[in-house]
Amino acid sequence: MSPVPRRLLVFVFAAVIAGALRAVPAAAAGKPGYPNTIVWSGHTWQVKSSQSKVGPGPNYFSASTDNVSVGADGRLHLRITYRNGRWSCAEIISAESFGYGTYSFDVGSAVAALDPGVVLGLFTWSDKAAYNHREIDVEFARWGNATDPTNAQYVVQPYSAAGHLVRWTLPSGAAPSTHDFAWHAGRVDFASVFDPAGGSNLWTYAGSDVPKPGGENVRLNLWLHGGAAPTDGQDVEVVINGFGFAP
């Protein structure tokens, strides 16, 4: 893939953040049953919690500050923790539905080094099944395969359909990294840029089944593939510097 100048993509990300501050996306009711909220990157987010194992995984999800918190510097901390005899994962859900536009995630952690059973998801999702839940994903995972040389993927669901998924490799130690998807009518453009050396990765999906907007929310989650404990038995933390949206 052709490299993209890092200064250009940093400028684009800054423009996206500025656009997010000016934009007023459509309000959404949010998902019932998740009363805990945080404010991060200028938006309100519900914090997922469950008393039994639920998807993805399945896993327990916790709204505890052990699992989801915003630091004094404004960065989001997502954690997988072992407390009271069980592993708990983290997920936040935007209270707004944004629709077409560019979604940007500035990741502070070196997520290429995640445990092979850990998944970081940056995506849109609707609880309604139309258009495969309107799910568009940037994911970092080896899906339990420690020898997989790839560790990231772009997806326009369903992932099992031909041409809907591309695997790629985020280099070891690459941090920070910025990951965007620009959702248009009939096309989704993915772009990532990362340190060191200003690396980049690009992909476009333009199939006939690109979803149309309709009540989807942005979600960020950190979870365990198959609900299995990390191979090293240690808690996991990922720091997200910021989220931006530009219509």
Give residue 30's pLDDT band: very low, low, confident or very high (50, 70, 90). low
Options 3.30.465.10, 3.30.70.1230, 2.60.120.200, 2.40.50.100; CATH for 6-246 is 2.60.120.200
Please tell me the predicted confidence (pLDDT) of residue 16: 40
- Domain assignments of the chain as residue spans, ordered by start: 6-246
Strand bridging mode 236-246 / 76-83: antiparallel
Q: What is the pLDDT of residues 69-116, one digit of tens each?
A: 999 999 999 999 999 999 999 999 999 999 999 999 999 999 999 999
Query: Would you say residue 121 has pLDDT above 50?
Result: yes
- The answer to whether 81 and 66 are in contact (CB under 8 A) is yes
Q: Average per-residue pLDDT in the chain?
A: 90
| For range 173-195, the mean pLDDT | 97
Those residues whose C-beta lies under 8 Å from the C-beta of residue 109, and which sit 6 or more positions away, are 175, 237, 238, 239
Cα–Cα distance, 101 to 173 (Å, whole number)? 30
Query: Would you say residue 23 has pLDDT above 80?
Result: no
Please tell me the predicted confidence (pLDDT) of residue 32: 61
Give residue 198's pLDDT band: very low, low, confident or very high (50, 70, 90). confident
Give residue 33's pLDDT band: very low, low, confident or very high (50, 70, 90). confident
Q: What is the pLDDT of residues 218-244, one digit of tens each?
A: 999 999 999 999 999 999 999 999 999
Query: Would you say residue 19 has pLDDT above 70?
Result: no
Cα–Cα distance, 165 to 212 (Å, whole number)? 18
- The answer to whether 21 and 31 are in contact (CB under 8 A) is no
- The answer to whether 104 and 130 are in contact (CB under 8 A) is no
